[in-house]
Amino acid sequence: MAQPTPTDVHIDAALSNVSIAYKNEAYVADQLFPVVPVDKQSDYYFVFTKDFWFRNSVERRGPGSKYAEGGIQLSSTQFVCVNKGLSFPLPRETVENQDAAVDLETAGAEWLADQFMLDREIALAAKIFDASAWTSSTTLSGTSQWSDYANSDPIGDINTGMEAVKKLTGRYPNTMLMGAEVWDKLKFHPDLLDIYKHTNAAILTTEMVGKVFDGLERVIVGSSIYNAGAEGASFDGTYIWPKNVLLAYVAKAPALRTPSAGYTFVWRQNGYMIAIVRVPEDLRRRDVLLADHAFDQKVTGVDCGYEVIDAVA
């Protein structure tokens, strides 16, 4: 007896409510260097010379005598937002034939925006973990690396960095950033677990680590990855953030007369920090999404940071 088969009663079609895409869950670059939107591609910001704020210029004054005079020194530093661009083509034949779940224009716009965020993440990691980026740093090796649970002293190393920044700026670092591979070792370190041994905490959280050190308000873990393989080659997932740690004093938001390890100056083009426009190319029967992004990740206080290089093996 003839009966309809499953392929007779159902024609396979793309789902309209499910699609698969890969991108990083979160980027941390803007958490470290607050974003300063700017209306010009380049400009200057003022810098007050530190020496004049920490030198005691007060003098004893007798009746009828003159007042001692003091002053401050001011300079300016330039930022230049380097413009970067990327495009995403939308062939009209392809767009007209796409299924609802694809939505190439939205997917393309999201991809473009994410590409720029990935680019900023990679750029900042290279900048702040350059060996010469900060006034103070230390390099760990062998038994001093925090992956050696029996011999290393992460609490002592972090306290040394906290004090180094305090003596240079008058402020303790309020932010600690580390790569995921550092955090994977540090959260199990017995020296830190011992502090919380009566709280049943077998694994530490970033908030718990932050509370161990005076003034440390945030512990940030950079866990984003990028594909180090060329197009067409096997996927090569690599951590963006190395096995290093940065202790830094960072302003909570752009502010006047306030030190900060750095800022990210972003040029607003057409009112947007990531400007995406759809441009028709009629001769090729397609549209193109054109995206522009201009930024300068500026270390504005070399003495506001302390780097621990090769924190783990």
Indicate which CATH number applies to the domain containing 39. Answer: 3.90.1690.10
Q: Which helix (H) or strand (E) holds 139?
A: strand 136-139
Task: Return the percentage of the chain with pLDDT > 70, whole number.
Answer: 92
- Asked whether residue 18 is domain-assigned, the answer is no
pTM for this model (two decimals): 0.88
pLDDT digits (tens, 9 = 90+) for 72-87: 999 999 999 999 999 9
- Asked whether residue 209 is domain-assigned, the answer is yes
Residues 6+ away with beta carbon under 8 Å from 247: 158, 161, 162, 165, 173, 175, 176, 216, 305, 306, 307, 308
pLDDT digits (tens, 9 = 90+) for 147-198: 999 999 999 999 999 999 999 999 999 999 999 999 999 999 999 999 988 8
20 band by pLDDT with thresholds 50, 70 and 90: low
**Count of the separate structural domains present in the chain:** 1
pLDDT higher than threshold 60 for residue 8? no
Q: What's the mean pLDDT when you consider all of the chain?
A: 90
> In the prediction, which pLDDT does 272 show?
83
Q: 102-123 b/e with 16+ CB inside 10 Å = b? A: eebeeebbebbbebbbbbbbeb
Give the residue carrying structure tokens 């793309």.
14
> In the prediction, which pLDDT does 15 show?
43
* Contact between 235 and 122 (Cβ < 8 Å): no
* Contact between 275 and 291 (Cβ < 8 Å): yes
- Asked whether residue 201 is domain-assigned, the answer is yes
Mean pLDDT, to the nearest integer, of 290-295?
93
- Asked whether residue 65 is domain-assigned, the answer is no
Nearest residue to 112 via CA among 274, 268, 239: 274
> In the prediction, which pLDDT does 18 show?
47
CA distance 174 to 171: 8
Domain limits at 240? 24-51+72-309
> In the prediction, which pLDDT does 26 show?
85
pLDDT digits (tens, 9 = 90+) for 220-251: 999 999 999 999 999 999 999 999 999 999 99
> In the prediction, which pLDDT does 25 show?
78
End-to-end CA distance of the chain: 70
Sort strands 218-222 and 175-179 into parallel, antiparallel or unpaired. Answer: parallel
CA distance 294 to 274: 8
**Alpha helices by DSSP H, 10-57:** 29-32, 51-54
Nearest residue to 31 via CA among 252, 205, 310: 252
19 band by pLDDT with thresholds 50, 70 and 90: very low
pLDDT digits (tens, 9 = 90+) for 106-152: 899 899 999 999 999 999 999 999 989 999 999 999 999 999 999 99
> In the prediction, which pLDDT does 167 show?
96
- Asked whether residue 7 is domain-assigned, the answer is no
- Asked whether residue 132 is domain-assigned, the answer is yes
- Asked whether residue 234 is domain-assigned, the answer is yes
> In the prediction, which pLDDT does 201 show?
65
pLDDT higher than threshold 50 for residue 16? no
- Asked whether residue 60 is domain-assigned, the answer is no
Query: What is the rounded radius of gyration, in angstroms, for the C-alpha atoms of the chain?
Result: 26
Task: Return the percentage of the chain with pLDDT > 90, whole number.
Answer: 72
> In the prediction, which pLDDT does 30 show?
92
Mean pLDDT, to the nearest integer, of 276-295?
92
pLDDT higher than threshold 70 for residue 9? no
